[in-house]
Amino acid sequence: MESSRSRKRARQDWDGAGAGAPPPTERAVVARGGASPLWRDDDRDGHYVFDLGENLNRRYKILSKMGEGTFGRVLECWDRETREYVAIKVVRSIRKYRDAAMIEIDVLNRLAENERYRSLCVQIQGWFDYRNHICIVFEKLGPSLYDFLKRNRYQPFPVELVREFGRQLLESVAYMHELRLIHTDLKPENILLVSSEYIKVPGSKKNSQDEMHFKCLPKSSAIKLIDFGSTAFDNQEHSSIVSTRHYRAPEIILGLGWSFPCDIWSVGCILVELCSGEALFQTHENLEHLAMMERVLGPLPEHMIRKASSSAQKYFRRGARLNWPEGAVSRESIRAVKKLDRLKVLVPSIIFFLVMLILNLNYISRLQNKNMHFLVPQSYLLLVLSATSKRNTKHRNVKFKNRSI
């Protein structure tokens, strides 16, 4: 049985270059050899229309549809030249999505200039323009962390695995920030396991017949970031609203502008979700969202409230107090906020200190690159474990690398 708590966010089955999505609906297998199929019109939304077995130019053969998102579709293909499986993002033939795809290609190429990129972010293998569709060729990876949670009926990951995911994720984000890039759309759907392999272990829940449930764990903890279509360059003009709602930082809601700290906030929301199996802030309304933040993390800083945009001032009463519960739209909304626990209850003690630093409501003092010394594995362990470890371990000599579980 899935989590009893409703997941309010709209989801796509697959939103990146991974593997493990439900099998596609079978269609006719056609177009043998390297010939392209006859021209056909796109569907009404600008998606490329295809049949399994067709060719996507002479080099790539379409094997399955791995998923679909706002941007377009991801197809599993066979690369005749390298004789490898690849994932190709076929972008909708609409101007704004084509423009976003070109930005993503620029970002991916910039990331690829450094060898660190290969282990942190999905690798681009090339791109081409096919029948008015930008097609980006990626290495084929495993399922997203969200899909893995869903497969496990939203049972949480072991804390040791969450801690390792967090280390890699923060290192990936720090690398982007060093290049003056802001991802702006970090969420479990955009974090892919490198491998699809997993093992089954006894779960913590039993069914009505008192039978043990089993859950899956990835064999490897290695992950990579994907989906750079919303990435912003720090020195360019920004839109006022970014990030998927559940991972959106308070400064964005308050209209204070945003920069690198909004990515760090998203990481904190992700870590809590991986520990609990559920999105931390399940809402679609700004006032309720702010009330949830205060319930979990304490009151919003007064200086942020005073500087909030005119459109956000309506969420507050005199004295810089949130207009809650008076301003709630329904009793259900009040109950949704009231049932949330404080942060120290939501996450295991071994990573509480780290998550507390990340989910700082004050974006000015939130953990940032300039003080992310723990991203060096030894320092990371020293920071996160020193407060909770009872053993006299010489952390400076410990190396925390990607490992098999």
* Active-site residue set: 185
Beta-bridge mates of residue 62: 77
Lookup result for tokens 């949330």: 340
What's the burial of 14, exposed, middle or buried (CB within 10 Å: 0-12/13-18/19+)? buried
Q: Identify the CA nearest to 2 among candidates 149, 201, 161.
A: 149
Asked if residue 134 lies in contact with residue 102, where contact means CB atoms within 8 angstroms, the answer is yes
Cα 93–chain centre separation = 25
The encoded tokens of residue 110 equal 């910039």
Q: What single DSSP character describes residue 373?
A: G
Q: Identify the CA nearest to 176 among candidates 227, 121, 252, 251.
A: 121
Asked if residue 78 lies in contact with residue 60, where contact means CB atoms within 8 angstroms, the answer is yes
Residues 80-101, buried b or exposed e (16+ Cβ, 10 A)? eeeeeebbbbbbbbbeebbebb
Mutual angle of helices 349-358 and 377-385, in 10-degree steps = 110
DSSP string over 95-138: HHHHHHHHHHHHHHHHHTTSTTHHHHBPPEEEEEEETTEEEEEE
Q: Identify the CA nearest to 342 among candidates 292, 293, 296.
A: 296
141 vs 225: CA distance, rounded Å: 11
What's the burial of 186, exposed, middle or buried (CB within 10 Å: 0-12/13-18/19+)? buried
Mutual angle of helices 349-358 and 159-178, in 10-degree steps = 20
For residue 99, how many C-alpha atoms fall within 13 Å in the half-sphere facing its CB?
3
| Cα 80–Cα 86–Cα 88 angle in degrees, nearest 5 | 110
